Amino acid sequence: MSIRIGIYGYGNLGRGVESAIKQNPDMELVAVFTRRNPAEVKINTATALVCHTDDAKNMTDKIDVMILCGGSATDLPTQTPLIASMFNCIDSFDTHAKIPEHFSNVDATAKKSGKVAIISCGWDPGMFSLNRLYASAILPDGEDYTFWGKGVSQGHSDAIRRIEGVLDARQYTIPVPKALDAVRSGSAPSLTTRQKHTRECFVVAEEGADKARIEKEIVTMPNYFADYDTTVHFISKDELDRDHKNLPHGGFVIRSGSTGENGKNKHIIEYSLKLDSNPEFTSSVLVCYARAAYKMNAEGQSGCKTVFDVAPSYLTTKSGEEIRKAML
């Protein structure tokens, strides 16, 4: 019998989840839930329903795990606790500073309902978090470094779009090769924000807009750009659509640590991702952790979990015997 999945929210991430489910033969998409008029939402799975989010409460016996695909700013803080009161569920909540609060809200409703809710699943938070934990547990005497990119930061792209005279924009975060090399050398350098990443912006300006002003507003923008070396390129809308329509991303988690007498032996643990599509990769992580939520709940577990609480064997379709034989 398949694991019956619901998708709650149907944007980039929801479509990525729909696509990822097709790569996992033990899963079946039952329904997509939307706040729009269901009759106007077209999906890519002929056998699945499109329902209004209000109808989710009537489908608790038809869905094993709900995958929440809303945004962290306004959707998930209320949606995940609500859905966890009815379903096993999983989200990609990524506002790092608010994770403790979100965890506590979701834990309360999931414990009451007896369901498993896994929050903050994706690659950061998610796989990068896992690698920070594993590496620091193995090498307690050491330093962690996380680099992001090269990839599109949607938050930074949005910030540029809000500037007067800007029609559209795409911002790439780029790790500084010299900084990566220094970390990999084992020298455990102290690196400033500016030394770790540069930012490159492709901007479509309105006709006749003051480009010098736009550029200045970008590079001096506090929090987003002021602490970085930022390059701004003005391009046409056609160029933006042709060369910058994808959402690639990725990055590096590196731990540099030492062992032995006086720490004489150095070790470097490096995890990296190079992703053509940030939302599709995040979706793929969500889908395999949805399997974990289902299995853990079937064993009687409940409450809020994160990737730290999930034994890797829950992620796969294979049995313990098979993975010990084939992968260990």
| Token representation of residue 102 | 């979100």
Q: Is 77 in the site for its own copies (CB under 8 A)?
A: no
Q: What is the largest CA-CA distance in the chain?
A: 68
Helices (H) and strands (E) in the chain, counts: 11, 14
* CA–centroid distance for 39 within its chain: 29
| Residue with Cβ nearer its own copies (161 or 266) | 266
Q: Which of residues 141-170 bind its own copies (CB under 8 A)?
A: 141
Q: Is 106 in the site for its own copies (CB under 8 A)?
A: no
Site size for its own copies (CB under 8 A): 66
Q: Which of residues 306-325 bind its own copies (CB under 8 A)?
A: 306-313, 315-316, 320-321, 323-325
Provide the H-helix boundaries in the chain. 12-21, 76-84, 99-113, 127-138, 154-161, 177-184, 193-196, 211-219, 237-243, 278-298, 320-326
Stretch that binds its own copies, among 67-75, 199-207, 211-219, 256-264 (CB under 8 A): 256-264
In the list 99, 174, 209, 219, the residue contacting its own copies (rule: CB under 8 A) is 99
Q: Which of residues 269-308 bind its own copies (CB under 8 A)?
A: 269-277, 280-281, 283-285, 288, 291, 306-308
How far apart CA 284 and CA 309 sit, in angstroms, is 19
> Do β-strands 265-275 and 249-259 pair in parallel, antiparallel, or remain unpaired?
antiparallel
Three-state DSSP class for residue 307: helix
In the list 137, 155, 222, 238, the residue contacting its own copies (rule: CB under 8 A) is 137
Using alpha carbons, select from 76, 69, 56, 57 the residue that is nearest to residue 17: 69
Q: Is 176 in the site for its own copies (CB under 8 A)?
A: no
Q: Is 46 in the site for its own copies (CB under 8 A)?
A: no
Binding site for its own copies (CB under 8 A): 16, 19-20, 23-24, 96, 99-100, 103, 120, 125, 127, 129-134, 136-141, 184, 259-261, 264-277, 280-281, 283-285, 288, 291, 306-313, 315-316, 320-321, 323-325, 327-328
